[in-house]
Structure 1
């Protein structure tokens, strides 16, 4: 896994320089951008770390950028930084998944605590995304019939009920289940239910 980077998006050059200095002195990598458009144009799928976003910016503001990141399924955790925050704004930011909502001038230690928490969250999100991709890959190996059997099994139906519903024999259901377990790597029905839930197959 590559070293995490703090991406700063703020239209104030002095703020960008100050934040960059604080974060680099803590031994972390930093990249800064003057507005949301510049950051989005520079974004690469291998970006890893977190993004510190100023709320009030010309063009696309910080909250709009947060929504755009979510829409593009960009997993970078967000820390907001603002000189004019208010309660409704901070509530909207946190509800949108932001790690924290800090006001300028920010205290160095508080900033670094937030960044480290964001890095931890970034690792979790990356791990979850990797696991979900692996699950999706496993499920693509299933035949249509196997997916039907899997869905009914995780809903709690017995082999006899599944066979009756699908018009196949009890033995055939057992064979399908065995292949499903093998293809998904599930150890038991609970494990299979988790895989179905995480892949949204059971919804």
Structure 2
């Protein structure tokens, strides 16, 4: 990161239109390219995931979600509900909270950074959250997570420059759904990725 341009935010002040998404990707083009090279992925694959994820919600909303989940999960039992039973999008465990302009769950970020997601200390969790919230580090972590997902696929040995459109779409579905990537929601995400990929590629030129 030291030799790369300062990353443009997109988390605390997320894009609200397609043009703003293009501007964000274009402003972070060099970081996206460097992250993709580091992970052995096509740069437009990383850019396409960025297109899908940026502008999802404001960073402060993730902070509120995380706080609600942590309080519901607290050992002192002040909350009558469990984190999973919280209403609407707030439901879920603390380590399922997503952070960053390219949204990534804490547990996935922990895996990329070399921590055991099932045994995170408070300090480690803080490091993961801060890393995900930093736009430059966030891009690198998202790219490496995509590389981990590719390593779990049947096209693990396919070079970046030889990946097919179907493999791009499958990797996007894996990013969204993890082990449930073949489910309807993840498949819809993959189709959305494919439909918007030309926009992401245009922003990378």
Q: TM-score range by the shorter chain?
A: under 0.3
Q: Which has the higher helix share?
A: 2
The answer to which structure, 1 or 2, has the higher relative contact order (CA under 8 A, 6+ apart) is 2
- Structure index of larger Rg: 1
Q: TM-score, normalised by structure 1?
A: 0.26
Q: TM-score, normalised by structure 2?
A: 0.26
Q: Which has the higher strand share?
A: 1
